[in-house]
Amino acid sequence: MSDNPTSDADNQQERFSESLCNYLTGFADGEGSFNISFRKRKDYRYPWKISACFNISQKEKPILQLCQKHLRCGTLRSRPDGVWYYEVNNLKDLINLIIPFFKKFPFLSQKKQRDFLIFRKIVSIMNDRDHLKKEGIERILELRRNMNDGGKRKYSEQEILNAF
C-alpha cells in the first residue's frame, strides 16, 4: 500500500491513457492510411498542390470521435453510404501532433511502419518548402512510390513532372 493516496490513482490514469494510446495506434494500424496527393491547380504559382493526409475511415463515428478528441486535431466527415472519415491534413498538426504520437506509440505492422516513415520524410520535405521546387517534387514522387503498395494514382509521375 502506498503512503501517497494519489499515486495509485495517478498510475492507474497513466496506464489507462497508455492503453488508450496503444488502442488508437492498433486501430490506425488496421484502418488508417497515410497519403500524399497531387491536385492540379491553375491558381497556384506551381501547377500542383501537394497534400499530406492521415485518415481513418469507419462506419462507427464514436471511435473516430475518440481519435479526434485524444489527438486534439483533425476533422470528421461522412459519406452518403454511412462511412465516416477522420482526417488530419494540416501540416502543423501532422508535424506537432500526429507524427510525435505515432513515434511514441509505434505501429506493429511492418507495412504501416514503412508507410509512416516515408510519410514523415515527405512531410519534412514539405515543411522545408522543398516541395515548391522540381527537385523536391521528384524526391516526393520517388518516396511516395513505395507507400501504400503503390496505390491507385489519379496522375502518373510523368504527368506531374511534365507540368513543370
pLDDT of residue 22: 94
C-alpha distances (whole Å) from 92 to each of 49, 115, 149 are 16, 19, 26
pLDDT of residue 58: 94
Total length of the chain: 164
Domain assignment of residue 103, given as a range: 5-162
Burial class (CB in 10 A: 0-12, 13-18, 19+), 19: exposed
CATH number of the domain where residue 60 is located: 3.10.28.10
- Spans in the chain with pLDDT lower than 50: 1-2, 9, 12-13
Q: How many CB atoms are closer than 10 A to CB 53?
A: 18
* 90 alpha-carbon distance from chain centroid: 10
Q: How many domains does the chain have?
A: 1
Quick one: cell of 77? 466527415
pTM score: 0.86
